[in-house]
């Protein structure tokens, strides 16, 4: 009778749960940073209004940064939901793996067809659960790639806004400083997204 790696799968499930917990904390960091970008964009937009028509390009760029913040929040919400589903699947894997190990120990020397069928059925369920986790991982990579692209666009937009800040007259320095903070914050978002992507790319079955 073929045996499946119950204890190994249980161990890897535990590792996955710890990884998901760490990733969830990093996602909270992204949400916090995205919120800061949104506030910074509002502040920069107010400066642009005070600077007048000469800062129209800056105003457009800061409005796009506000849009970036909202889009990042939307993507992060999708990723959080996907993480929640992956955690549930991983917890299920851990439970099934433990049950599989107990089944194998109980029927190791058994020739009864019903008991052997229990182990086989548990093994099939285990395999399906492993596959669902891999599917969730691939979906998360798609969402993270979308977030990476958006954060890259956000960083470029922040740089453009900083260039446009020179037309702000007496407020040029304040506008430049405001958008510099936004650019640095978006850069942090980019780095976190890259880090998360690397983690999921390594987390293959």
The pLDDT of residue 65 is 93
In a domain, 118, yes or no: yes
Q: Is residue 1 part of a domain?
A: no
Please check whether residue 165 is in contact with residue 179, taking contact to mean a CB–CB distance below 8 angstroms.
yes
pTM: 0.76
CA distance 13 to 25: 19
Query: What is the reported pLDDT for 103?
Result: 59
pLDDT of residue 39: 94
Can you list the alpha helix ranges (DSSP code H) found in 107-171? Answer: 113-164
- CA dist 52 and 28 (Å) reads 37
111 to each of 114, 117, 120, 124, 204, how far by Cα in Å? 9, 10, 13, 20, 36
Q: Are 69 and 37 in contact (CB under 8 A)?
A: yes
Domain range for 198: 6-202
Examine residue 136 and state whether it is found in any structural domain, yes or no.
yes
Compute the 3-state secondary structure of the chain and give helix, strand, coil in percent, each to the nearest 5.
Answer: 95, 0, 5
Q: How many domains does the chain have?
A: 1
- Tokens of residue 101, six digits: 């190990």
Q: pLDDT of the chain along its 205 residues, tens only? A: 334 344 334 446 677 777 777 888 888 899 899 999 999 999 999 998 888 888 889 999 999 999 999 999 898 888 888 888 777 777 777 676 666 666 566 566 556 666 566 566 666 766 776 777 778 778 888 888 889 899 999 999 999 999 999 988 889 999 999 999 999 999 999 999 998 888 777 765 4
In a domain, 45, yes or no: yes
Residue 136's pLDDT is 78
């Amino acid at each position: 009778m073929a045996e499946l790696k119950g204890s190994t799968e249980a161990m890897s499930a535990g590792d996955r749960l710890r990884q998901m917990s760490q990733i969830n904390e990093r996602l909270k960091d992204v949400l916090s940073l995205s919120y800061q970008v949104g506030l910074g964009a509002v502040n920069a937009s107010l400066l642009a209004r005070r600077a007048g028509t000469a800062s129209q390009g800056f105003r457009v760029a800061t409005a796009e940064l506000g849009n970036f913040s909202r889009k990042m929040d939307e993507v992060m919400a999708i990723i959080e939901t996907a993480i929640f589903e992956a955690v549930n699947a991983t917890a299920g894997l851990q439970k099934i793996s433990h049950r599989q190990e107990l089944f194998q120990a109980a029927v190791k020397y058994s020739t009864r067809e019903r008991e052997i069928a229990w182990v086989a059925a548990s093994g099939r369920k285990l395999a399906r659960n492993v596959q669902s986790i891999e599917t969730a991982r691939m979906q998360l990579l798609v969402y993270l790639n979308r977030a990476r692209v958006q954060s890259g666009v956000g960083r470029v937009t922040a740089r453009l806004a900083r260039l446009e800040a020179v037309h702000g007259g007496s407020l040029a320095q304040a506008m430049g400083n405001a958008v510099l903070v936004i650019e640095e914050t978006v850069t942090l978002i980019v780095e976190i997204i890259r880090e998360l992507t690397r983690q999921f790319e390594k987390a293959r079955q």
